[in-house]
Amino acid sequence: MTPVSRNPKPGVHVATIAHEGLIWDAFLDFEDHTHPGARYRGRLRFEPPTGTEGPPVTATAAIIIEDSYEEAVAKARSFDDRQLQALLRSTLPEPA
């Protein structure tokens, strides 16, 4: 699990999905530093509805690695709801 705080810079909104009765927004956040061979590296950040008690804002590791901003956004938006739900589940804590 990678809990994160709500980002003051909202990133690029890529989708809205339903998971366990909540509507989550998925954002693409880019890493601030560059890496040789890949100019755009980003992670997906998932935010539950504002004001809800329960799951925190969470994010994946850097899973989007593309040569251009446009390619990175297109890659993030290419995930279907089922894939995004699986990525979200992978970032949430195990149920007790």
In this prediction, residue 49 carries a pLDDT of 80
Interval 78-95: pLDDT, tens:
999 999 999 999 999 877
- pTM higher than 0.85 for the full model? no
In this prediction, residue 9 carries a pLDDT of 60
**Rounded mean pLDDT of the chain?**
85
SS3 83: helix
In this prediction, residue 56 carries a pLDDT of 85
Interval 41-78: pLDDT, tens:
999 999 988 766 767 899 999 999 999 999 999 999 99
